[in-house]
Amino acid sequence: MSAIHDDGRLLRWPYPVRYGNEQRVEADVLVLGGGIAGVWAAIAAARCGARVAILEKAATVHAGAGGAGVDHWQWAADNPASRVRPEELAQALVDNQGGYRNGISTYVQCASAYETLEEMERMGGKVRDTADEYRGADFRDEASRLLFAYDYTNRFVIRVWGADYKPLLRKECLRLGVRILDRTAATALLTEDGRHGARVVGATGLNTRTGAFVVVRAKAVILATSRPQRIWTFSTELRGLSTFRPPSDAGNGYAMAWRAGAQFTMMEKSMRSPFGSAYSFPAYGSGNAINTWYPCTIVDATGKEVPWVDGDGRVLHNVAERCRPAPGQRFFIMGGGSSSLPHPGLKQYAGPKPIPDLEERMRRGEFTPPFYADLAAMPELERKVIWGLMVGNEGKTRIPVMQTYAQSGFDPERDMLQTYDFLRGSGMREPVVPQERTFGESGVCGGLLTDWDLMSTLPGLFGAGDLVFGGQDHSHAAATGRYAGARAALFARAHAAAGLDERQLADEKRRVYAPLSVRGARTIDWKELNAGIARVMQNYCSEPKNDELLRLAETWLADLQANEAPLAGADNPHKLMRTLDVADILTCARIIVHACRARRASSAYLHFNRLDYPDVDPPEWHKWITVRQGEHGMETSELPIAFWGGLEDNYRPRHRANLAAMGSGGAAHRRSA
């Protein structure tokens, strides 16, 4: 039997079909997206005593980019062994991006990542080396038994056993009475009296299996959906397991908030990046020297080791030195010649990495390609922590990398894993097609403008995790989710529920079900529409840019919106969800192009190169460009670079109020001694 036929007949859709049927739900706090940020937000709001509901497009138990695991709990400057204070680390992370990073969410992370991790531990997550597997290791703090990564001297990135966290978080949601609606894709925000740009008072959703329509009325809504992927690259045939974010991350939250009139910033930033490239390799699953694999030894085809250098270019002599700051350096951020970032960040925070001129030296005959990651050459505990703890818990490594490679015979004590980053000496992975870019597949990218409550410019709409123009990582999602959950619950306490506007609901229903009525030979599949959008973006919104190219991007995206988007058809609830995803991707692409036109200056930090404005990072453009959809078209505005003011001063009173509310709200919530 093939996938679609049984005894010569097409299989019937296996779930009952309920197009248009309405399910109405009431909540104090509604969370859209049940990934890491979403479940943390739901737990925090529930601890504050709020009635909470989550809408999740997939299944909460493992949903989200970090739903299958995490290895680095980043920027936990509040941990007891850290030698860097939260304020200092947050400022360094913001400065390292030239100021273009959400200082609010970054500070929330730096000041409460460890506090959040302790809460994870109380839910049953393993956060420290309780079995003493790494006793005596350079990266272990003997007092707390915490394991650290990167900078072993300053100790603010914690290695954790995160592959089991997500099911524990879901269990805690259920224990606290959070109502989880899985297989329910949020489609639109509902506003007070249906007015554009007004307070957000609920949301709609589509059941992706039955096609039923879900309407939630809430006093506060938290957007915890991820960033739009598939903007420049779309190929279900080629991408396979190479991406760091699930392919279903379609920027639904961006598109919903945009349609409702929320303000966004930094949407002009995209990166030339192999992550998410059509020609990349399994995420975290090929040998390298960065991230999960830091500080792995790289060797050439003859077994010759590639030397490492510190941030000042000084040659390092052993593995231990790869995890220490350079002489006189306060601390370093990451290292490993990390990722594909053309902008290297500030020299004062640069970490150790393999020699940057490896490719030249290979061409001179000093090294012979191909190159390998030589785990076997690493000191025993360093090898075991990379292959076993990091690979095994990070992202999606447990099954696709550790188990699958082991079943094929890979043995980290005997074998050297091919590195595709350094295959022929290039120190960074390069996308095969130079026009391929990503919007935050990795790294800091633009998103929902927030204030110190992580509230957007629409009252009652909060943001957490990936979409608040801050960090891309798991602990950022967790800490900001937890913070936003408490802030939203406090907002809900102070505001009454508002009535829903039936006309707004009817309009959204019409939009959601329209693809079901598309019939005939001109019908377009969602995949082809996605590929068409990606090609416009490759051609007219890649690098370098000028106003004429961007104007054409705007024109051709509007053309797709007018002519092809209405022809995108679906004949079951799953394809309906995918078709709506592509509609959101198209909206996100249009936001990006609009923002690109609005920044009339080049910027290295933003990976933004304008032929018509070639000056790089001129001081008068060192500011945030914000964009929103007004009632009469797109609006552009600006904000000063550090608009958030003092970090600690703004954070402390809110954090205190959050802790007080969470402590009194959840009956079974225990603070550790």
Summarize as ranges the residues that interact with another protein (CB under 8 A): 3-4, 6, 11-12, 14, 58-59, 61-63, 67-68, 163, 183, 208-209, 236-238, 240-243, 246-248, 281-282, 285-286, 303, 372, 374, 376, 396, 398-400, 403-405, 407-410, 414-418, 574, 578
Beta partners for 455?
462
Residue number with CB closer to another protein (259 or 396): 396
Residue number with CB closer to another protein (99 or 247): 247
Residue number with CB closer to another protein (11 or 660): 11
**With contact defined as beta carbons under 8 Å apart, do 381 and 417 qualify?**
no
Residue number with CB closer to another protein (112 or 225): 225
Among the listed residues 315, 283, 331, the one whose alpha carbon sits nearest the alpha carbon of residue 96: 331
Residue number with CB closer to another protein (332 or 526): 526
Whole-number Å distance between alpha carbons of 360 and 369: 12
**Nearest approach, Cβ of residue 473 and another protein (Å):** 17
Whole-number Å distance between alpha carbons of 419 and 527: 31
- Is the peptide bond preceding residue 544 cis, with omega within 30 degrees of 0? yes
**Nearest approach, Cβ of residue 388 and another protein (Å):** 16
**Nearest approach, Cβ of residue 18 and another protein (Å):** 17
**Nearest approach, Cβ of residue 288 and another protein (Å):** 12
Phi/psi for 629 (5° steps) reads -90, 115
Residue number with CB closer to another protein (392 or 470): 392
Residue number with CB closer to another protein (246 or 261): 246
Residue number with CB closer to another protein (198 or 290): 290
**Nearest approach, Cβ of residue 632 and another protein (Å):** 38
CB burial string 308-319: b at 16+ within 10 A, e below: bbbbeeeebeeb
**Nearest approach, Cβ of residue 394 and another protein (Å):** 12
Which segments of 495-646 does DSSP mark as H helices, in order?
502-513, 526-540, 547-559, 573-598
Among the listed residues 189, 183, 222, 230, the one whose alpha carbon sits nearest the alpha carbon of residue 206: 183
Q: Which two tokens stand for residue 294?
A: 């830091």
Residue number with CB closer to another protein (417 or 557): 417
Residue number with CB closer to another protein (26 or 415): 415
Instruction: From residue 310, give the alpha-carbon distance in Å to each of 148, 150, 324.
Output: 19, 12, 9
**Nearest approach, Cβ of residue 378 and another protein (Å):** 12
Residue number with CB closer to another protein (406 or 604): 406
C-beta neighbour count of 493 within 10 angstroms? 15
**Nearest approach, Cβ of residue 273 and another protein (Å):** 17
**Nearest approach, Cβ of residue 302 and another protein (Å):** 11
**Nearest approach, Cβ of residue 418 and another protein (Å):** 4
**With contact defined as beta carbons under 8 Å apart, do 417 and 286 qualify?**
yes
Residue number with CB closer to another protein (244 or 624): 244
Helix (H), strand (E) at residue 74: none
Beta partners for 448?
264
Q: Which residues contact 396 (CB under 8 A, 6 or more apart)?
A: 68, 69, 241, 283, 284
Instruction: From residue 379, give the alpha-carbon distance in Å to each of 147, 382, 594.
Output: 16, 5, 51
Residue with the two structure tokens 């799953």: 574
Edge to edge, the sheet with strand 633-640 lists 447-448, 264-265, 623-630, 633-640
**Nearest approach, Cβ of residue 240 and another protein (Å):** 4
Residue number with CB closer to another protein (281 or 651): 281
Cα-based torsion angle of the residue sequence 542, 546, 552, 558 in order, rounded to the nearest 10 degrees: 70
Q: Which two tokens stand for residue 405?
A: 């490679």
Residue number with CB closer to another protein (3 or 496): 3
**Nearest approach, Cβ of residue 639 and another protein (Å):** 35
Q: Which residues contact 53 (CB under 8 A, 6 or more apart)?
A: 25, 27, 29, 30, 31, 178, 179, 180, 181, 216, 218
**Nearest approach, Cβ of residue 54 and another protein (Å):** 15
Residue with the two structure tokens 């703890």: 389
Residue number with CB closer to another protein (141 or 300): 300
**Nearest approach, Cβ of residue 177 and another protein (Å):** 21
Which segments of 349-412 does DSSP mark as H helices, in order?
358-363, 380-386, 390-393, 404-407
Whole-number Å distance between alpha carbons of 44 and 647: 22
**Nearest approach, Cβ of residue 249 and another protein (Å):** 10
Phi/psi for 206 (5° steps) reads -120, 125
**Nearest approach, Cβ of residue 48 and another protein (Å):** 29
Residue number with CB closer to another protein (352 or 412): 412
Q: How many angstroms separate the first and last alpha carbons of the chain?
A: 60
**Nearest approach, Cβ of residue 182 and another protein (Å):** 8
Q: Which two tokens stand for residue 232?
A: 């420049």
**With contact defined as beta carbons under 8 Å apart, do 500 and 190 qualify?**
yes
Residue number with CB closer to another protein (303 or 566): 303
DSSP state of 291: G
DSSP calls for 602-642: BBTTTTB-BTTS--BS-GGG-EEEEEEEETTEEEEEEEETT
- Is the peptide bond preceding residue 369 cis, with omega within 30 degrees of 0? no
